[in-house]
Structure 1
């Protein structure tokens, strides 16, 4: 079971599905939507996904024809995306509450990536803050 929620906790979902494949998307739209170098996502079957609370507080933007990015209207967290005719929905892993041990399988849309981020380049790590 996968569970997730927004930053303020108003919106929550669950999906009775395993986490099968983590993807980092570097397209311009994902970068703009999340204010980051990329967005981490996984697809789950639409039939296994359901809103647990806050569905009426969701807002959405149609970022490309037929693709809706759903976010909490109170805190702005982007929690999922969907193409309504597709059999899967995309969960935004930054909002996932279920602990996972899996690692990303692929970076996509590297042709559209932020020029200041290269996933092959190692950077120092710090446990907290600057």
Structure 2
């Protein structure tokens, strides 16, 4: 990964980056710079990661591709497709709108496509071969966070930001977000 800034990427996040699942059966490449780094504290993300939050990079879909292997649907969307009833309190419309993708071998949750954001993919930052530079810029679902969890994100929301807030957050991230 180059640490140099190019004229086409003045923020210094010049791709491409490579990555993959834990077992290596699925490999990926990101050729577009992220537009946001988000830590989500919702119970669903915490359950899928097994951690305190999910750290994702929002990437343009056109700048993301699998280079080896295929993924399978994961999360509640996979449960719905399998004909399982969702637990109480789970929203079937939201579950259907979130296309979580995982390695079919090691079951690593790799990325998510969200129906409301058809041109974006949310890549789990840990899937990158080199992810030490990734820090959250925005926290979502802070109201669901486990006590004492601090991410250092510059912007925090109890739920999800209004759609109108995202363009300004993306501009701020392009200017101030973490660089590799």
Unaligned ranges ≥5, structure 1: 121-130
Q: Kindly indicate which of the two structures has a greater share of residues assigned to helix.
A: 2
2:119 is the alignment partner of 1:87: yes
2:130 is the alignment partner of 1:101: no
**CA drift at 1:68:** 1.0
Give 3-state SS (helix, strand or coil) of 1:89's partner. strand
- In the other structure, the counterpart of 2:108 is 77
Structure-1-length-normalised TM-score: 0.80
**Aligned Cα RMSD in Å?**
2.1
| 8 A contact 1:5–1:11 mirrored in 2 | yes
State the aligned residue count: 118
For residues 34-58 of structure 1, what are the alpha-carbon distances to aligned partners after superposition, in whole Å with 9 as ceiling and x for unaligned?
1111010011111111110011xx2
Inter-partner Cα distance in structure 1 for 2:132 and 2:46: 23
Q: Kindly indicate which of the two structures has a greater share of residues assigned to strand.
A: 1
Inter-partner Cα distance in structure 1 for 2:59 and 2:38: 13
Inter-partner Cα distance in structure 2 for 1:41 and 1:78: 11
Inter-partner Cα distance in structure 2 for 1:26 and 1:101: 20
Task: State the structure with more CA Rg.
Answer: 2
The alpha-carbon distance between structure 1 residues 101 and 118, as it changes in their structure 2 partners (threshold 3 A), is: closer
| 8 A contact 2:21–2:127 mirrored in 1 | yes
**CA drift at 1:22:** 1.5
Structure-2-length-normalised TM-score: 0.59
Unaligned ranges ≥5, structure 2: 1-15, 78-93, 152-180
**CA drift at 1:84:** 4.6
Inter-partner Cα distance in structure 1 for 2:46 and 2:146: 8
Inter-partner Cα distance in structure 2 for 1:113 and 1:9: 31
The alpha-carbon distance between structure 1 residues 5 and 67, as it changes in their structure 2 partners (threshold 3 A), is: same
- In the other structure, the counterpart of 1:127 is none
- In the other structure, the counterpart of 2:46 is 31
The within-5 A match list for 1:1-130 is 1-55=16-70, 58-61=71-74, 62=77, 64-84=95-115, 86-99=118-131, 101-115=133-147, 117-119=148-150
